[in-house]
């Protein structure tokens, strides 16, 4: 006679097997992604955000996990296409900041690895800016609509950007004054990526 304990254990394991089977039948697809940034000014650290108009995203292979779908994906960004929402500011950033970068060098970003699940985790992105390559951790979350949001902070000086920093600070010295009368341009910049993840389960 089968004991109640055996019946219970069989139910538990069969339930787990069913759950694993259901998970294995889901496919994740990356359909789009967009880069973003937030720079900071004044002592109060007021953020100025924007994106880029010219960038390309490599193809992604649908997979049974989000990490497999994202790993290896590359994005190439043309820095002169900076878009802050204000045309005159775009021109200033392009000519006084990005013009001091290594010439004709796009930003290259590659997803090295992803740890986490389809709700939250951390993606390690290899970031190549101004001829300097570093790996940054981008914690991410995915909402119920499949919108992925990831963000990291870069330090300009880690990418050899002192000349670019000096150029933008001087050009925007008056605009970067806060209530205390001090003109300040911060050297840390938030980098962000938003993406659309489609989850299809049979």
pLDDT over 70 at 65, yes or no: yes
State the pLDDT confidence band at 10, using cuts at 50, 70 and 90.
Answer: low
Domain ranges of the chain: 4-201
Of residues 37 and 105, more confidently modeled: 37
User: Are 24 and 34 spatial neighbours (Cβ–Cβ below 8 Å)?
Assistant: no
- State the pLDDT at residue 15: 52
pLDDT over 70 at 125, yes or no: yes
pTM for this model (two decimals)? 0.85
State the pLDDT confidence band at 6, using cuts at 50, 70 and 90.
Answer: low
**Order of strands across the sheet with 74-77?**
55-57, 74-77, 107-116, 120-129, 132-142, 147-155, 188-201, 26-41, 46-52, 82-83
User: Are 171 and 92 spatial neighbours (Cβ–Cβ below 8 Å)?
Assistant: yes
- State the pLDDT at residue 202: 87
pLDDT in tens, 139-152: 999 999 999 999 99
Of the options 1.10.10.10, 3.40.50.2300, 2.40.128.110, 3.90.550.10, the CATH number for the domain spanning 4-201: 2.40.128.110
The Cβ of residue 123 has, within 10 Å, a number of other Cβ atoms equal to 24
State the pLDDT confidence band at 76, using cuts at 50, 70 and 90.
Answer: very high
Q: Of the given ranges (5-9, 85-89, 127-131), which has the lowest mean pLDDT?
A: 5-9
Mean pLDDT over each residue of the chain, to the nearest integer: 91
Of residues 14 and 37, more confidently modeled: 37
State percent of the chain over pLDDT 90. Answer: 86
């Amino acid at each position: 006679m089968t004991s109640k304990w055996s019946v219970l254990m069989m139910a538990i394991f069969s339930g787990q097997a069913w759950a694993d089977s259901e998970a294995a039948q889901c496919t994740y697809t990356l359909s789009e992604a967009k880069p973003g940034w937030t720079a900071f000014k004044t002592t109060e650290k007021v953020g100025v955000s924007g994106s880029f108009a010219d960038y390309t995203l490599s193809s992604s292979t649908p997979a049974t996990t989000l990490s497999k779908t994202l790993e290896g994906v590359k994005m190439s960004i043309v820095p002169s296409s900076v878009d802050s929402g204000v045309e005159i500011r775009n021109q200033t950033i392009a000519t006084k900041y990005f013009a001091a970068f290594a010439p004709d060098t796009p930003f290259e970003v590659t997803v090295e690895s992803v740890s986490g699940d389809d709700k939250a985790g951390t993606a390690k992105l290899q970031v190549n800016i101004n001829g300097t390559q570093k790996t940054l951790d981008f914690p991410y979350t995915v909402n119920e609509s499949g919108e992925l949001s990831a963000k990291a902070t870069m330090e300009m000086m880690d990418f050899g950007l002192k000349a670019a920093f000096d150029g933008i600070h001087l050009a925007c010295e008056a605009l970067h004054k806060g209530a205390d009368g001090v003109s300040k341009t911060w050297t840390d910049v938030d980098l962000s990526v938003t993406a659309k993840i489609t989850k299809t389960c049979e």
